[in-house]
Chains A and B, each alone.
Chain A
Amino acid sequence: MNSFNQKTLFSIFLNQLIKRKLALICISILFIIYFIGIFAPILSTHDYAETNLAKTQNGPNMENWLGTDRLGRDIYTRVIWGIQNTIIITLITIITGSFILGISLGLAAGYFRGKIDIFIMRLGEVISAFPDILLIILLAATLRPSIISFGHYIEDTFGFRGILSSGIVDYLVIGIALLPLSWFGLMRLVRGQVLSIRNAEYVQAAKAMGTSNFVILFRHIFPNILSPIIVSISFSIGAIALSEVMLSFFGLGVQPPRPSLGVMIGDVTARGGASISVLRNHPEQLLAPIIVVWLMIFCWNIIGDALNEIFNPKNQY
């Protein structure tokens, strides 16, 4: 990777992107999905927890655009709040796993090498030695009760409410559980990239001029390894959406009444059975959340592929 001037990089990027129609379509789809999710409070037509037993299991109609579930809750509203839930989890995981741990540890390991490098790599190896799904479930199942009682303690001590009902605790648990998955791959990538350019002339020159390590890392090295990071993150977002579904399937995601796509799918699939029945009898209840999850995974992969081709025309992983 050569050191591009930021401006040319961006214009190349735009030019390339316009050539890729499918990627553009995917970006638009994701834009719409995320827009709906972020503005769920405004766009929702009902209260997500509001049951209405006068109209259970209705098909799509004017009042309930995607119909209602067995408790008469509006499926459209629950889907868009579920999207918001996925967005929050994605953000948490990317900020903590990718940015804070993955990138900074990768930079540190690659740049300083020596003991720091060995320690970080060993730590990563230990974590990646676990079968990942088992580790996620283990973490979520064992941490949740302790974190919830800690939340209760905080609320009771300071005499206010809302920590638990806001869902922060759930997000904390999910964030921690997904952490081991998200950082090591990116860390290794960043480390490798740093290793490959740390002896480049401009880095050596900066060093010789007495520039501080921090400045070298973030002004000279980081911008030049940005593109593989973007590619890697864009691939991982789809996977995070899927992880949320998995956790909810095992009852370890956000707690009700907050809706989540995983609960909507897992609810009827729980213990491996009923989804066939729902699929055969009330497909509309299952299809909306499944299509959204499917779109997220599909589109982020297409975008990842496109970005990859644009940034690394030779190295197409």
Chain B
Amino acid sequence: MLEYILKRLIWTPILLLIASFFVFFMGNIAPGDPAELILKNRATPEKINALREEMGLNKPLVIRYFSYIKKAVKGDLGDSYIFQGKKVTELLIPKLLVSIKLNIAVTIISVLIGLPLGFYAAKRRGSWVDPTIVLSMLFLFAMPVFFTAPLLITIFAVKLGWIQASGWNGFFDKQIILPALTIGIPGAAIYVRYMRASTLDVIDQDYIRTAFSKGLNNYTINYKHIIRNSILPILTLLGFTIAGIFGGSLIVEIIYGIPGVSRLALDAIYQRDFPVLTALVLIGSTMLVLANLIIDIAYTIVDPRID
């Protein structure tokens, strides 16, 4: 087990190096010369060349990559091409925090709706309740956010005037409700499916049957045995939350006017702001990989059979 964890720990930084190199490489083959981009139509071949030299773009890719990584380790992710004079980190971090907060809210909604419904559906297997829950969640899941987000704005902001049509006032504000619901409810459908399946799995285990036959009360069985054991596989889904920060809430952030990371990412792709993009992928990958690592290690400790 220790050996496994150790292996994973060694592999993680290598993984990140490969991933970040890939983005670096994509930035290199993408059309559009950064020097030309900065100089706009004032670009003459001499000016372009001078700027390329200054930016170090004339050096080989690998050398540039390693000097980038060297700086990145110290927390310097370079300067944005588009926002002149701004460091990538100062651009990214405030927006990242917004997206993280939004996605925490989304996860809370998904979990609060998804897990109880999934559990309840499993418990009521065979009755009309189970298919009703599953179907209605699927119904909502299949609705494109292109449709639901504008619809919710029209109803709750324009018609009823309960909240603003756009804006972000932090985590503890009612403005977070609509966007979080827009992604959270379809997300809950996935939690329902997993929770229902994993509850059914546990219910059918011999020890639960034994517990029932021993006459333990419902509460004890439900909470001590079934839920505790069925929630474990759900942990994996928390990786979704982290992945969601980087682009999962893209359309929602744009439609609701939330100053999150998605819009920045999109603009960075379209405007060829590769320092921002590389940094985004680097941070995103790091978070994703670390989360998976923690989940994996947690599993290994709980269930040593996994290798």
Contact = CB atoms under 8 A, between A and B. Distances in A.
Given A142-B26, A315-B201, A126 B280 contact: no
Interface string B135-149: 100110111101100
Interface string A285-317: 010001001110110011001000000001111
Interface string B181-224: 00000000000011011001100100000000000000000000
Given A134-B246, A138-B269, A290-B147, A129 B285 contact: yes
Interface string A26-55: 000000000000000000000000000000
Contacts of A159: none
Given A129-B289, A146-B29, A276 B153 contact: yes
A316 B147 CA distance: 30
Contact of A142 (B18, B29, B141, B288): B29
Contact of B243 (A132, A265, A317): A132
Nearest to B250: A133
Contact of A245 (B29, B135, B139, B146): B146
A131 B247 contact: yes
Interface stretch (A57-65, A66-74, A204-212, A267-275): A267-275
Contacts of B43: none
Nearest to A296: B142
Contacts, number: 135
A253 interface: no
Interface in A132-190: 132-135, 137-139, 141-142, 145-146
A145 B138 CA distance: 38
A265 B148 CA distance: 12
A126 B246 contact: no
Given A132-B243, A293-B144, A272 B251 contact: yes
A297 B257 CA distance: 27
Contact residues on A (Cβ < 8 Å of other chain), bracket: 35 or more
A99 interface: no
B142 A245 contact: no
Interface string A255-281: 000000000011001011101100110
B22 interface: yes
A111 interface: no
Contact of B146 (A130, A265, A280, A315): A265
Contacts of B106: none
Contacts of B154: 276, 279-280
A315 B194 CA distance: 11
A317 B194 contact: yes
Interface string A236-260: 0010001001100110000000000
A272 B30 contact: no
A297 B146 CA distance: 14
Contacts of B248: 131, 133
B172 interface: no
Sort A-B residue pairs by CB-CB distance and give the 10 closest, nearest first: A131-B246, A133-B247, A298-B142, A297-B142, A272-B254, A142-B30, A272-B255, A316-B197, A276-B150, A131-B284
Interface of A: 22, 122, 125-126, 128-135, 137-139, 141-142, 145-146, 238, 242, 245-246, 249-250, 265-266, 269, 271-273, 275-276, 279-280, 286, 290, 293-295, 297-298, 301-302, 305, 314-317
16 contacts: A125-B11, A126-B22, A128-B288, A129-B16, A131-B245, A131-B288, A132-B247, A133-B247, A134-B265, A138-B281, A142-B27, A272-B251, A280-B154, A290-B147, A294-B147, A301-B142
Given A294-B144, A305-B193, 14 more contacts: A22-B135, A125-B289, A130-B288, A132-B243, A134-B269, A137-B266, A137-B269, A145-B31, A245-B144, A265-B147, A273-B255, A275-B147, A279-B154, A317-B197
